[in-house]
A and B are shown apart, each in its own frame.
Chain A
């Protein structure tokens, strides 16, 4: 490994250094689709750091997939709010025993639920400098009426508009303070390549956040990742940290 000194070298020594400046109350994007592509090592570091009042902006159940990490965050009382399309266990009986769902029931943690494609587009709009957009998804459901949340005071009404005789819902961009992303390969300039279906929300969250921190299974020098193979260009990535390839259970049960 050739370490090139300079501002564009984004490599940091370890996970603790990578997240050192995250303050209490931060909004952190957590990619992953159930078990695939979840930044588990960074979530582990977040539990160790212990900062509270966090909003975790998700896409499709990364905390259902990484249930050990979720349990740690809940036990530490670090979470204020979760935004997700699929944040609860599928089985109601399992959910009743789950500390996260219990905290949602009591209102100790807020859960805001959003259709998955709308969430994807909220991050994309945030990444692309578009403040809001109209979507047909959710018309006729409660999603059209208001923000769906367990906290009644936060059920803000939504606007709609007709285009060519069809109704659409106005949805707003989401720009997280931080994003944790998980890549198969990353170079020291922050260029990333993801693996198969572990890609999911990683590229769009990396592009949407003000500060993106990438954990990479394989760290390489610039030039090893070929220009044609880079899926997230380094411009979106502030810090890169190498993590071992973890083996985990592929399950949402």
Chain B
């Protein structure tokens, strides 16, 4: 870890979510995973983007509170939500049919590990000591997504790498990740390797490399993360 990083807290989770939202064009159908991805919904409210919840809802509305809570209307993170003009409900077969069938323009997931090939691990942490874990809809979403983005902390709580040379956690999907958004950087997965496109304000490419396993290709027009 570089000296600059020792005194840098990283971009807040909400701002990672904002940065991801800028990468999603209007006219997109999008599915957001649990964790930082869920926060993206706050930033795309009012935009021409439709959220799919794999529980069986299109055009998922904002979180419901007070009088507007109905226990039969929740999102895939089990939070009560509102429905909007143009929203639709459907059953789980229809929901995963549209997911696997390639209708999701963008899917944003959290991750435990990702490598330079765009392979990622997110469904089971071996530290839990179980041979099983929660796969949920993650593998189906990866199989069908037109674009797969990861939104995650750059390092573990103890400072370990999450962007690694080799995955040591159970794989969710191989070669599917297109872009990685962290509290320190924006990285694109390219056939040549990981392309560092943006760094958090105050950091250098070297700072980001110091907490990243694979060698980063620094973009000739490296930018500061824009919000």
Cβ B137 vs Cβ A115 within 8 A: yes
Chain A residues bordering chain B, tally (CB within 8 A): 62
Of the candidates B125, B127, B144, B171, which one forms a contact with A141 in the assembled complex, judged by CB atoms under 8 Å apart?
B171
Asked if B113 CB lies within 8 Å of chain A CBs, one says: no
Cβ B56 vs Cβ A140 within 8 A: no
Give complex CA distance A95, B134 in Å.
12
Cβ B73 vs Cβ A150 within 8 A: no
Closest 5 CB pairs between A and B?
A117-B96, A117-B140, A140-B174, A34-B78, A198-B72
Give complex CA distance A121, B72 in Å.
23
Cβ B89 vs Cβ A149 within 8 A: no
Asked if A161 CB lies within 8 Å of chain B CBs, one says: no
Q: Which among A1-9, A18-26, A201-209 touches the partner chain?
A: A201-209
Interface of B is mostly: loop
Q: Report A143-176 CB contacts with B as 1/0, cut-off 8 Å.
A: 1000011101000000000000000000000000
Cβ A200 vs Cβ B56 within 8 A: yes
Number of A-B contacts (CB under 8 A): 171
Give complex CA distance A149, B132 in Å.
6
Give every chain B residue within 8 A of A35 (Cβ-Cβ): 71, 74, 78
With known contacts A120-B92, A137-B143, A150–B131 Cβ distance under 8 A: yes
Q: Which among A47-55, A81-89, A220-228, A236-244 touches the partner chain?
A: A81-89
- 19 extra A-B contacts, CB within 8 A, seeds A65-B78, A117-B96: A36-B55, A85-B136, A86-B134, A86-B135, A86-B136, A88-B133, A92-B125, A112-B132, A115-B138, A116-B137, A118-B139, A120-B92, A140-B119, A141-B172, A196-B70, A197-B57, A199-B91, A201-B91, A204-B92
Of the candidates A101, A104, A116, A200, which one forms a contact with B135 in the assembled complex, judged by CB atoms under 8 Å apart?
A116
With known contacts A85-B134, A87-B134, A250–B69 Cβ distance under 8 A: yes
